[in-house]
Amino acid sequence: MNDRYIIDAYAWIEYLVGSEPGISVRTILEDERNDIFTCAVTVAEVVSKTIREGWNAETAYDILTGNSVIVDIDGGISRDAGVLHADMRKTRKDFGLSDAYVLATSRITESKILTGDPHFRDIQNTILVK
């Protein structure tokens, strides 16, 4: 069975800028044995960030869609994200709704979360890139 990863906005941005953590992301992306997913909410986050930074949003979008399967949001994922968000906010007051969508999507796709976001520290099946 292939390893399955969902890449969050933090990890995608690091990949796009070619940082040290981005090199770790690239290694996973380039391994053809891996299945790569991105939550549709993450696409919006990355596009927004690229526009705000003055980068080419279309190029970023093409990189995400060309290197991963985009998991669309539906009612079930939204329900799961809402439950996870409420639960996570009990102990992590700044855990974002977009983080909850990534977490919910990782569970549906049975994927490890690839991130550098400290909100995901100590969450099962999370790999923090450094």
Give exposure, 42-57, as e/b (b: 16+ Cβ within 10 Å).
Answer: bbebbbebbeeeebeb
Give the architecture-level CATH label for domain 4-128: 3-Layer(aba) Sandwich (3.40)
Indicate the pLDDT class of residue 4, thresholds 50, 70 and 90: very high
Please check whether residue 104 is in contact with residue 81, taking contact to mean a CB–CB distance below 8 angstroms: yes
pLDDT at 103: 98
Residue 112: what residue type?
K
* Residue-wise pLDDT tens digits, 72-122: 999 999 999 999 999 999 999 999 999 999 999 999 999 999 999 999 999
* Residue-wise pLDDT tens digits, 22-77: 999 999 999 999 999 999 999 999 999 999 999 999 999 999 999 999 999 999 99
In this structure, what are the phi and psi dihedrals at residue 123, rounded to the nearest 5 degrees? -95, 130
Ranges of each domain in the chain? 4-128
Please check whether residue 104 is in contact with residue 79, taking contact to mean a CB–CB distance below 8 angstroms: no
